[in-house]
């Protein structure tokens, strides 16, 4: 298997990858990095957990290294995802010199952000709303921007950011390089790409190339009234960090309080919390200051914590694809993880859809593995 050195990256980037423990590129990285390094535009279809962040971060950093007067912009739909990308970028930049980055998201002081923008950071990471705020205030100038990344573009449009994204792209030189990544490619994204990209290279990474076989899965059939009792048993018998998924923000708070009454410490994470509180919860979870976090699907976006050993689906997701995303929060970076799903009699329809989806993905991946061994 080829390693990252075949991409002819700078020594600094290669040292950063080695320090991060990344030895071999994922499928999306293998396809996107060499194209990105040539300066061509990309329209990529890839799921969360496929390794997208490095696929666009490395070409961006290499571009700026070769032209220190240029800058790059990374747009994401959520603050959590922006913070995750910002942390990865800064780790890689710690091996480089004279390249600065900035995080521009809501919920944090706009005046301090404006002051930091005066230092002319070359890599700008943020959400559409706050980026537009700075453009309107005149505190952000994108004249030097030569590369734009739209990550999770489908989510960005679903959340109503299309007009803001278009306004941002209008503020950037038409000669810029454009890298668009999305889990799905509806017509809305195709149209956006055709208007703002220049003959982009199409890349498609299927779900079967993302699902991790290092996840041991277990299903527990349970009546709704017995779910909490079963959760307590599962927590008691497991060691290590646990991520519990529920449907609603109200459900996260209710479950966390109920566990507390049982003497089990946990923290709730959902979209209704203020940004600084969500950030504090995530930082504490990463630092292993508590081991149980209860989250909704929307709050889970951007969660990339290597030490999560167990995922418990207290409530099943509404979409089968979200199930794959959930269990992918464990077994990161080659580790082994476990996923447990509570299935009630009322869940039979959605669970059947989930089973079909997972079996299809696993079958495709298994067939691909066998085929490659016979080559």
pLDDT over 80 (residue 213): no
Which residue is associated with the tokens 């889970």? 300
> In which band, very low, low, confident or very high, does the pLDDT at 1 lie, cut at 50, 70 and 90?
very low
Decide: 293 and 281 in contact? Cβ < 8 Å. yes
User: pTM for the whole thing?
Assistant: 0.65
Find the range with the poorest average confidence among 189-203, 220-234, 272-286.
Answer: 272-286
Least confident of 55-64, 245-254, 277-286: 277-286
Question: In this model, does residue 364 exceed pLDDT 80?
Answer: no
Q: Quick one: average pLDDT of 191-205?
A: 91
Residue 212: closest CA among 32, 369, 311, 334? 334
Q: Is the pLDDT of residue 163 over 70?
A: yes
Q: Between helices 52-66 and 11-20, what is the axis angle to 10°?
A: 150
The pair of three-digit structure tokens given for residue 88, joined into one six-digit string: 């990865």
pLDDT at 134: 97
Give how far the C-alpha of residue 186 lies from the chain's centroid of Cα atoms, to the nearest Å: 20
pLDDT at residue number 299 = 56
Burial 195-229 (b: 16+ CB within 10 A, else e): ebbeebbebebbbbbbbbeebeeeebebeeeebbe
Of 79-88, 131-140, 191-200, 261-270, the poorest mean pLDDT is in 79-88
* 299-331 confidence digits (pLDDT tens): 555 566 778 889 999 999 877 767 877 887 776
pLDDT for 372: 32
| Average pLDDT value for residue range 343-361 | 83
Rounded to an integer, what distance in angstroms lies between the CA atom of residue 41 and that of residue 150?
Answer: 12
- Residue 285 is predicted with a pLDDT of 86
pLDDT, residue 360, reads 64
Q: Of 304, 183, 321, 333, whose CA–CA distance to 243 is shortest? A: 304
Q: What is the DSSP string of 183-251?
A: S---HHHHHHHHHHSSSPEEEE--GGGT--TTEEEEEEE--GGGHHHHHHHHHHH--SEEEEE-S-HHH
Question: Residue 369: what pLDDT?
Answer: 44
Distance (Å, whole) CA 93 – CA 249: 36
Q: Where are the domains of the chain?
A: 4-205, 209-365
Domains 4-205 and 209-365 share a fold: yes
Mean pLDDT of the chain: 85
DSSP lists the bridge partners of residue 221 as: 343
DSSP state of 142: -
**What pLDDT is stored for residue 367 in this prediction?**
46
Chain centre to alpha carbon of residue 265: 27
Strands laid side by side in the 267-269 sheet: 215-221, 337-343, 308-313, 241-245, 292-295, 267-269
Three-state SS string over 258-318 comes to HHHHCCCCCEEECCCCCHHHHHHHHHHHHCCCCCEEEECHHHHCCCCCCCEEEEEECCCCC
Per-residue confidence (pLDDT) for residue 117, from 0 to 100: 96
Stretch among 27-31, 77-81, 292-296, 361-365 having the lowest mean pLDDT: 361-365
pLDDT in tens, 68-126: 889 999 999 988 889 888 988 988 998 998 899 999 999 889 999 999 999 999 999 99
Question: For 4-205, which CATH class?
Answer: alpha beta
3-state secondary structure 165-202: HHHHHHCCCCCCEEEEEECCCCHHHHHHHHHHCCCCEE
Please tell me the predicted confidence (pLDDT) of residue 9: 93
Pairwise CA distance, residues 154 & 159, whole Å? 9
Q: Is domain 209-365 classified as CATH 3.40.50.360?
A: no
Task: Give per-residue pLDDT as tens, 327-348.
Answer: 877 766 556 788 999 999 999 8
Of residues 361 and 368, the one with the higher pLDDT is 361
155-179 average pLDDT score: 92
């Amino acid at each position: 298997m080829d390693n990252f050195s075949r991409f002819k990256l700078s020594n600094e980037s290669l040292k950063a990858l080695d320090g991060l423990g990344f030895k071999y590129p994922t499928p999306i990285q293998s396809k996107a990095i060499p194209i990105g390094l040539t300066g061509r535009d990309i329209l990529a279809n890839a799921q969360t957990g496929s390794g997208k962040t490095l696929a666009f971060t490395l070409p961006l950093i290499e571009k700026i290294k070769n032209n220190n007067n240029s800058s790059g912009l990374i747009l994401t739909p959520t603050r959590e995802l922006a913070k995750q990308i910002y942390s990865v970028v800064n780790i890689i930049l710690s091996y480089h010199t004279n390249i600065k980055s900035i995080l521009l998201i809501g919920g944090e002081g706009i005046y301090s952000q404006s002051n930091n923008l005066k230092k002319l950071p070359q890599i700008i990471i943020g959400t559409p709303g706050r980026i537009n705020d700075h453009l309107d205030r005149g505190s952000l100038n994108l004249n030097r921007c030569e590369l734009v990344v739209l990550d999770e573009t489908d989510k960005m449009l679903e959340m109503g950011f299309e007009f803001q994204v278009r306004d941002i792209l209008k503020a950037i030189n038409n000669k810029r390089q454009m890298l668009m990544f999305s889990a799905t490619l509806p017509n809305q994204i195709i149209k956006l790409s055709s208007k703002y990209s220049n003959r982009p290279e199409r890349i498609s990474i299927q779900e079967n190339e993302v699902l991790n076989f290092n996840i041991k899965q277990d299903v527990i059939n349970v009546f709704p009234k017995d779910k909490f009792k079963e959760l307590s048993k599962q927590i008691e018998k497991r060691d290590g960090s646990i991520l519990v998924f529920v449907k609603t923000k109200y459900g996260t708070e209710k479950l966390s309080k109920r566990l507390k009454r049982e003497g089990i410490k946990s923290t709730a994470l959902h979209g209704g919390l203020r940004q600084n509180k969500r950030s504090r919860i995530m930082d504490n979870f990463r630092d292993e200051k508590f081991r149980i976090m209860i989250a909704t699907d929307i709050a889970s976006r951007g969660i990339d914590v290597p030490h999560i050993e167990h995922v418990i689906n207290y409530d099943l997701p509404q979409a089968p694809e979200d199930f794959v995303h959930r269990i992918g929060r464990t077994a990161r970076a080659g580790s082994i993880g476990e996923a447990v799903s509570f299935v009630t009699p009322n869940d039979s329809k959605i669970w059947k859809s989930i089973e079909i989806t997972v079996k299809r993905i696993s079958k495709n991946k298994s067939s691909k593995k066998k085929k490659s061994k016979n080559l």
